[in-house]
Amino acid sequence: MISKKVFKYFYIFILATVSSALSAQVTIGGALEPSKGALLDLKEFESKDNNVNSTKGLMLPRVDIQNINELYPMFSNDADYNNSTKPEFKDALKQSHIGLMVYNTNECLGKGLMVWNGTMWNFLTRIKSPLSQPNTYLLTSSPQTIRIPVEKAFAIWEYYGSEKGNNRLPSNIDLGGTLSAEIVWQEGAYGKSDVIIANPPTVTQGRNGEITVVTTGNVGNAVIALKIGGNIRWSWHVWVSEGTVSGNKFPDGIGLGYIFMDRNLGATSALPANAGAIGLHYQWGRKDPFPGYVNFNSVKSKVPIDFYYDIKDSPKENFQKAIESPLSFISYTQSDPNSSGDWYNKALNNQSTAQDVIDRWDDRWGSYDCDAKSPFDPCPEGWQVPKSKVEDNITISPWRNIKVVYPSDSQANKTHFNNNKGYNYGTEGGYWPGTWARFYNQVLAATDALVGFYWSMELDKNVNYLPHDLQLNASSIAASSSYPRSFGLAIRCVKE
C-alpha cells in the first residue's frame, strides 16, 4: 500500500505537471511542437506543399443568436447581465467578450459566422436564405430585362407551413404543379402610358426557375405573380421610377439617424408637388402594393382594387388569401367594426403570453432585434421599412421629435409647407407628399385638405400595439401611433 506521504508527493507532482501544461503552448490534432508565436496551434502534421498541415478544419459552436444587440443566449438567464438597475454589469460583460465568435443558426438574422464587437454581433459571412430575396425590383426608366428567382415562393410555403414558421400557412399545399407567370396589374404615371411590361412574362420550370420580365421604359408600377398549378403562390413588385433614387437624412435630433429614400415607395417622381410623388399604399405587414391615387385632388386610382371584406376567423386563411390575391384589400367588415382592425387576425389581443405573441405576429415586417429584412418587407434591395428602437421599455419612433425640430411647419407659417401638397425639407430631409390612406372601400381624408400617412416596421406597445406612423396635414407633421394594421398607408424606405 502506498503511504500517505508518497501519495501526497505524487499528487503534488501531478498538479504541477497539469498546471505547467495548461499554461504552456498547445498543439491539438497531432503530437507536434506548436508554432512559437501561437498559444493554440491546430495541425495534424508538419507543413507540406502549399503550407498544408491538416486535412480537417475548425468547427465553431452552433449558436442560435436571438438578438443582434445582446449576448444571447450566452447570458439570457444571467441575473447580473439582465439587472436593469446595474447596467455596469452588462457593459462589463459586453466588453470582456469582444472577439467572441460563433456560427449563427438563426434564420431571421441569417446563418453564418458572427463575431461580437462589444455592442453588437457582426457577420463575417452570411448564408442568405431564399426567404431574404427582395419582393420589389427598382428599375430606371429605360427598357430592361430582369430575371426574378422563383425559389422564394417555394420557401415561403414550406417555412410558414411548418412549426418553425408557427404554422401560419397550410402544410399540404401542392407545389409540384406547372409554373406560369402573369401580370396582376400595372399602371403608369399620371397622364402617361400604363404599359410598363412589354410582353407577358415567361418562367422556366422548377424551384430554381426564373421569371423573365421585359420593361418598356415607361415609368410606373406593376405586380407580377407566379402561379403553381394555376394558383398564385407569390408575387413581386416591379417599380420603374424617374431619375436616380438617392437618400436624405434629417438633422440630428429627429428619429434614429436613418437615411430615408428620397421618394415614397412606388413613386414615379421625387419632385415636390408632382402627382407621381404620392406612391403606393400598403396594409401593415403585407408586401404587395395597392395602386396610388392619380393626383392630389382625386381619391381614385387607375386600377380598381378588389376589396375583400369577408375576413375569416382563421388567421391562416387570411394569410393565404393575402398571398393568393395580391390586389385584395383585406379588412374587417363594416358590420363588425369592433374587431381588432387587423387584416391577419381579427381576434388578436394585447396580452403577452407566448401564444398571444404568435397570434399577433408583430414582426411581419421585421423587428429591431433582427438585423435581416423580413420576407415580407416591400422595399427594394438595400432598403427596408424603417424600424423603431426600444430603450428602457420605451419605443422610439423613426420620426421622433420631428415636430419639435420643425415646430413652425404649418400652412400658416409655411416654413417647409409645400402648396398644400406636402412638406419639402430639401436635401436635408427630402419631400414628403400628402398620400391619403385607405380603409374599407373608402379614403381617410377629404379632398380639400392635405393629409399624409407613413408606416414604420414597429408597434407601439403602449398604444394597443398599433404601428408607429408619421402623419402630416396642413397644421403640422408629427410621429404618431393611430391606425389599425388593415389600413393602407404609404412607406418611405430607409437604407439597410
> Does some domain include residue 79?
yes
* CA quadruple 295, 298, 303, 307: dihedral sign: positive
DSSP state of 16: H
DSSP 143-178: --EEEEE-HHHHHHHHHHTSTTTTT-S-S-----S-
Structural domain including 104 reads 62-123
Cα–Cα distance between 427 and 212 in angstroms, integer?
Answer: 36
* β-strand partners of 197: 215
CA angle, corner 27, sides to 26 and 32, nearest 5?
120
> Is the same domain home to 116 and 171?
no
Is the Cβ–Cβ distance between 153 and 233 less than 8 Å? yes
Cα–Cα distance between 432 and 426 in angstroms, integer?
Answer: 10
Preceding peptide of 73 cis, ω within 30°: yes
DSSP state of 456: E
> Does some domain include residue 252?
yes
> Is the same domain home to 323 and 399?
yes
The grid coordinates listed for 332 are 374587417
Three-class SS state of 221: strand
> Is the same domain home to 108 and 34?
no
The answer for residues whose C-beta is within 8 angstroms of residue 38's C-beta and 6 or more apart is 25
> Does some domain include residue 365?
yes
Cα–Cα distance between 263 and 138 in angstroms, integer?
Answer: 12
**How many domains, in total, are found in the chain?**
3
> Does some domain include residue 422?
yes
388: nearest Cα among 378, 403, 398, 402: 398
CA angle, corner 422, sides to 417 and 424, nearest 5?
60
Phi and psi at residue 99, in whole multiples of 5°? 100, -5
> Does some domain include residue 104?
yes
> Over its length of 496 residues, how does the chain's per-residue pLDDT go in tens digits?
445 554 454 444 444 444 444 456 888 888 888 888 888 888 888 888 888 999 988 899 999 987 888 898 999 888 888 887 788 888 899 999 999 999 998 877 778 899 999 998 988 887 788 999 999 999 999 999 999 999 999 999 999 999 989 999 999 999 999 999 999 999 998 778 889 999 999 999 999 999 999 999 999 999 999 999 999 999 999 999 999 999 999 988 888 889 999 999 999 999 998 889 999 999 999 999 999 887 777 777 778 887 776 788 899 999 999 999 999 998 876 556 556 689 999 877 666 777 888 888 999 998 766 667 899 999 999 999 998 776 655 667 899 889 888 887 766 677 788 878 889 998 889 999 999 888 765 555 544 457 889 999 988 888 888 899 999 888 888 889 988 899 999 999 999 8
> Is the same domain home to 109 and 137?
no
Is the Cβ–Cβ distance between 145 and 104 less than 8 Å? no
Number of H helices, E strands in the chain: 7, 30
Question: Residue 417 half-sphere exposure, CB side, CA atoms within 13 Å?
Answer: 20
> Is the same domain home to 88 and 188?
no
Cα–Cα distance between 188 and 278 in angstroms, integer?
Answer: 13
> Is the same domain home to 355 and 234?
yes
> Does some domain include residue 353?
yes
The answer for residues whose C-beta is within 8 angstroms of residue 97's C-beta and 6 or more apart is 71, 74, 116, 118
- 209: left (phi > 0), else alpha (psi -120 to 50), else beta? beta
> Is the same domain home to 28 and 138?
no
> Is the same domain home to 79 and 154?
no
> Does some domain include residue 57?
no
> Is the same domain home to 111 and 153?
no
**The model's pTM:** 0.82
> Is the same domain home to 116 and 156?
no
> Does some domain include residue 241?
yes
How far lies 149's CA from each of 137, 186, 204, 322, in Å? 12, 20, 10, 20
Amino acid at 144: Q
> Is the same domain home to 208 and 143?
yes
Domain stop point among 77, 93, 123 = 123
> Is the same domain home to 150 and 279?
yes
Q: How far is CA 93 from the centre of its chain?
A: 29
Is the Cβ–Cβ distance between 494 and 260 less than 8 Å? yes
The grid coordinates listed for 43 are 495541425
